[in-house]
Amino acid sequence: MSAAGDPRKTLVVALCGGVGGAKLALGLSRVVPGADLMVVANTGDDFEHLGLAISPDLDTIMYTLAGLADPRRGWGRRDETWTFMAALAALGGETWFALGDGDLATHLERTRRRAAGEALSAITADFCRRLKIATRLVPMTDDTVRTRLRTDMGWLDFQDYFVRRRCAPTVLEVAYDGAARARAHPDVLAALRDPRLRAIVICPSNPFLSIEPILAVGALREAIAGSAAPVVAVSPIIAGRAVKGPTAKMMSALGLEVSARAVARRYRDLLDAYVLDRADAAAVAELGIPVTLAHTLMTTLADREELARHVLASADAVAKATA
């Protein structure tokens, strides 16, 4: 891609879920300086457990950007210890949701500050400052949104489905309780209107569990659609398969084709460009929007950076073509 970007356009907004999204967010953080990158995190997976306020996607992104993430699992902290879980099990406590000792500090401190009246976004910004993360990490809203799933076992809370039941139930419908009346974070709305905005990136996250909860937040989808900046998504499906997690299984249960193309259709009204894996070259002609091919399986840090550069170049090419 040859299009050089407009030097006045420095800001990038990325919509992001957990593990898959955080990989690209890390790549973007290495090519977009400091606070010019805003990562908007899904909070539809947030829940209360053992009296603690837990924000799994925010924490996955925060640990990833801070270099603290466990490289093997993708979630939680590296070099974690599990004394708390062992002690809890010995007391007959609930152990279906694993909380490492270091991770526990994040949840305890967040819970304490929430109870004292601080907003999730303010606590997140302060944690990021202390962990020396220059990227701006912002929850999609400070209001409560809860992803719930109608399954063959009835309506389930997200973590009940995802962790406790290991995605075994068949998903028939997905709902984002509270999303319609939730207010998008004002900094996100301001960034989407900012004339310096270069690109809006939809990370390769689960469409139903990570991206659509963000888009469902009141006014956010409209603000993205109305933004002057190009919107570019990266497919989380490579050659008809999810890299990990229930994306593919959910797509087939919901009656959708399991393909990169079907993901693009869900975002169609928003997308200006789409990045597909080279394995999916055959789908290129059918989408009706500019499509570029890349190596999208992010195994190494270099993969993450290279895909981030490719995504931004795709956005710059769209901006140049429409200027």
Instruction: Tell me which residues touch ligand GDP (CB under 6 A).
Output: 17-21, 23, 57, 204-206, 209-210, 234-236, 238, 242-245, 247, 296-298
Calpha distance 250→264 (Å, rounded): 16
Tokens at 307, concatenated? 């895909």
Which residue, 57 or 142, has its beta carbon nearer to ligand GDP?
57
Range list of H helices, 116-219: 120-130, 158-159, 186-193, 212-216
Min dist CB 196 to ligand GDP, Å, is 26
Which residue, 11 or 14, has its beta carbon nearer to ligand GDP?
14
Residue nearest to ligand GDP (CB): 20
Which residue, 119 or 167, has its beta carbon nearer to ligand GDP?
167
Q: Identify the CA nearest to 202 among candidates 190, 218, 213.
A: 213
What 3-state DSSP class applies to 172? strand
Min dist CB 273 to ligand GDP, Å, is 15
Which residue, 227 or 296, has its beta carbon nearer to ligand GDP?
296
Which residue, 215 or 234, has its beta carbon nearer to ligand GDP?
234
Q: Identify the CA nearest to 203 among candidates 17, 11, 12.
A: 17
Min dist CB 317 to ligand GDP, Å, is 20
Contact between 17 and 57 (Cβ < 8 Å): yes
Min dist CB 130 to ligand GDP, Å, is 23
Min dist CB 230 to ligand GDP, Å, is 19
Min dist CB 101 to ligand GDP, Å, is 22
Calpha distance 319→7 (Å, rounded): 12
Which residue, 123 or 238, has its beta carbon nearer to ligand GDP?
238
The pairs formed by 142-145 with CB atoms below 8 angstroms and a separation of 24 or more are 142/183, 142/185, 143/178, 143/181, 143/182, 143/183, 144/46, 144/178, 144/182, 145/43, 145/44, 145/46, 145/176, 145/177, 145/178, 145/179, 145/182, 145/213, 145/216, 145/217
Q: Identify the CA nearest to 19 among candidates 76, 67, 68.
A: 76
Which residue, 112 or 244, has its beta carbon nearer to ligand GDP?
244
Burial of 1 (0-12, 13-18, 19+ CB in 10 A): middle
Min dist CB 204 to ligand GDP, Å, is 4
